[in-house]
A and B are shown apart, each in its own frame.
Chain A
Amino acid sequence: MFGIDVTTAVSAAAGTVFGLLATELVSSLVRKQQRHEKSRDDDQDEIVATIDAVRTLADDYWTKSQEELGHTEAVLRGRIVGGIHHINLLISGLFSGDAKRSCDVAAFKFSDAAGGGTFGNPGRSSEPDRLTSIHSAALTLKHLVKSERRKLRYKPLA
């Protein structure tokens, strides 16, 4: 009788420990997934914010001539190029494979619109007509980044 009680108690204790361990394991995996997803969301938000920042800088840059901008021209140019590079860095950290390739192509089109043509040329005139292609490329890139972000799958054992 006493032996059966001990066996039952040991079994119950083992079951409780196992249950606690399993619960903790599942909780740990869920927390890891939540951190991973938040990190991806943060990267996506930073890409979108940087695209908007570069777009605003490009507005200031292309609506004035080099002469009108004076020394600010070099400042805007540096910030636009730096912003585009930051977008490329974030995309490379967030995506891989076909998703990255698609985002790279869209990022190139955005950078070409914002920093191509007469960008930085001495005596450059203002080119407000360029803003349409800049905004269009920015919206396309933002949409693509969000779309590819939604497709990312969590790999628990990765």
Chain B
Amino acid sequence: MFDVNLDRRSRDFRPSRRDFLRVGGLSALGLSLPSLLAAEAHADSSRGAKARAKSVILVYLGGGLSHHDSFDLKPEAPAEIRGKYSPIPTSVPGLMIGELLPKMAKLMHKVALVRSGAHNNDHHETATNWVLSGRFGSPFGDFPAIGAVAAHEIGFQGALPPYVAIPQNPSFTWELGRSAFLGGRYESFKVGDPNSNEFKVRDVAPLEQLEVSRVERRQNLLSVVDSLARRVESNDQLDTYDEFHKRATTMILSPESRSAFNIGEEKDDLRDRYGRNTFGQSCLMARRLIERGVRFATVNYAGWDHHAKIWDGLGRNLPVLDAGVSSLIDDMDSRGLLNDTLVAVFGEFGRTPKINKDTGRDHWGPAASLLFAGAGVQRGRVIGSTDKEGAHVTADPVSPADVAYTILESLGINPRKTLMTADGRPVEILDQGRTITQLFS
């Protein structure tokens, strides 16, 4: 009962979060992590026994990846549609992709390609929130991103937050893919740009070097002076504050979390392979964090909105994408992580078949390409197809709800489960959609 509806305001008949997390002040220093983990073990009970994946990496291509120039080339189409690139063969017989993705070409036997992503919206914010949550709503995000849902259902396990965004959440003119009615508790934890000089995650590395006795004294003083919560019952914000205070303490003090974010621990040649840029290093960071217990990592790569000069834009972006994603898949595979991790790569829509007067392509909802890998995904599979202009789907359409449904269900979360908004409104996580079964069988 406790883990189902973590609504903003706890009710008479539900035990408060504090009751479950009544860990002694000193022991919250990470010195007795097991007690925290034990308290959270119940949170796992919402997950089914048959989860395909333990974690998810979502590579989000903000702006809309041009499918004509990446994974769904139309070399036979007229010049104003087929564009500049030629198709190249891949490690999957008969499958050709764009020439600017040679590394991916060698790896296509490890991934599944969906060429039939389709919906009917061409507005950045609306479509982004739609594909990230699986539900159509306003541009301002009425429904939580699936990462936030995962965080809600899985909860904190260990020192690291369950849901991270690297470097940030997607945004266009305002932040997208937020936690909506689930509230700030389930927002992604923003890691920042791992490619920056002297990269540090904000406020995680201890600012002061304090001995354990000092730390204890501070916590002691805090529990002496902070008596507000004892007088106020059933205040959800106060409860959340206490909980996050403990979590923050653990994150700051545990060597486990500090080391997780320390990308400098990775070998230079590996870092080079991923690409010494924000995206490449973000993919590497995602692998690190998944390895250390993070359950949902969104790697946000914006800048695909090529309304003009598309060859310049793609000329820059595609090689970066190529290096980052291929390294991620290979690296995870060789470490044995790919079996338990579902990797998904997509943007909010495809782009128009006809190249416009500014040598660009515009928004196009009816067709898009998506990639999946890991966690039971059949290797080398191609699902769906588009017509000869790459305009409309001709087989096996896949909707944003289907994608979200598949990802959640792979984690063992019931996508039709009902959540509660802060004002007590029951809302299904997803109101439609089905698992893309062709991915797994």
| Chains A and B come from one and the same complex | no
* Chain B residues near A (Cβ < 8 Å): none
* Chain A residues near B (Cβ < 8 Å): none
